[in-house]
A = this chain, B = another copy of it.
């Protein structure tokens, strides 16, 4: 049976990713067009589009390393403080999450636009909400929220639903707005988010 694969395919993929990374850092994600990436990498448009149908897909790939680091951070963090109260763990995860979102605003915006927009056009399976990063975040938050819920320290709420809402409120454009137009530092945003979204779910800190 004949199932040949080119060995240079993988090399081209890496060439494309490297080129895109370069152009993005040089000119900014928004100013770089798909054709520009293809041309700079010296490949045909189809070669690029066959791998990444939209800039968002490419960004998702580029952010992968960063996200894996972030994921490991979260897992280590959770392991290192597994004996602390669940509220503290939630806060820690949230803080790390906001920092990640702030660090990666440029790529995240492109991802958000492409994937969310795409979702709107066709009923593709590949949506923002089914991407591995989203699912990891959602599952991590849901677990912590469920534990909080089960521990009886909170008012009643639906953990999975609440996790969706938490992530929605961290949309890159929201954060950008709060930071640039509204003049809040990342720390201030974290503090307010904890105060507004998380702490109130827990029953009075100064117990009866």
This chain: how many copies in the complex? 2
**Nearest CB in chain B: distance from A119 CB, A:** 7
State in angstroms the CA–CA spacing of A162 and B197 once bound together.
Answer: 9
- A62 at the binding interface (Cβ < 8 Å): no
Whether B129 pairs with A177 at a CB distance below 8 angstroms is yes
Chain A 41-75 interface residues, beta-carbon cutoff 8 Å to B: none
What residues of chain B lie closer than 8 Å to A204, measured between beta carbons?
A: 203-204
**Nearest CB in chain B: distance from A102 CB, A:** 15
What residues of chain B lie closer than 8 Å to A192, measured between beta carbons?
A: 157-158, 161-162
Can you name 13 A-B residue pairings with CB atoms under 8 Å? Answer: A113-B117, A155-B195, A157-B195, A157-B196, A158-B192, A161-B182, A161-B184, A165-B174, A165-B196, A168-B171, A168-B174, A200-B200, A204-B204
- A9 at the binding interface (Cβ < 8 Å): no
Chain A 68-125 interface residues, beta-carbon cutoff 8 Å to B: 109, 113, 116-117, 119-121
Query: Quick one: closest B residue to A120, CB to CB?
Result: B109
- How many of chain A's residues have a CB under 8 angstroms from any CB in B? 40
Whether A196 pairs with B161 at a CB distance below 8 angstroms is yes
- A24 at the binding interface (Cβ < 8 Å): no
State in angstroms the CA–CA spacing of A169 and B161 once bound together.
Answer: 11
- A164 at the binding interface (Cβ < 8 Å): yes
State in angstroms the CA–CA spacing of A180 and B30 once bound together.
Answer: 30
What residues of chain B lie closer than 8 Å to A197, measured between beta carbons?
A: 165, 197
Query: Quick one: closest B residue to A134, CB to CB?
Result: B177
Whether A195 pairs with B117 at a CB distance below 8 angstroms is no
Chain A 171-208 interface residues, beta-carbon cutoff 8 Å to B: 171, 173-174, 177-178, 181-182, 184, 192-193, 195-197, 199-201, 203-204, 208
Chain A 18-47 interface residues, beta-carbon cutoff 8 Å to B: 30
Q: Other than A158-B196, A165-B174, A196-B201, give 16 A-B pairs with Cβ distance below 8 A.
A: A30-B120, A109-B120, A113-B113, A127-B181, A128-B173, A129-B181, A155-B195, A155-B199, A157-B196, A158-B192, A158-B195, A161-B184, A162-B196, A165-B197, A168-B169, A200-B201
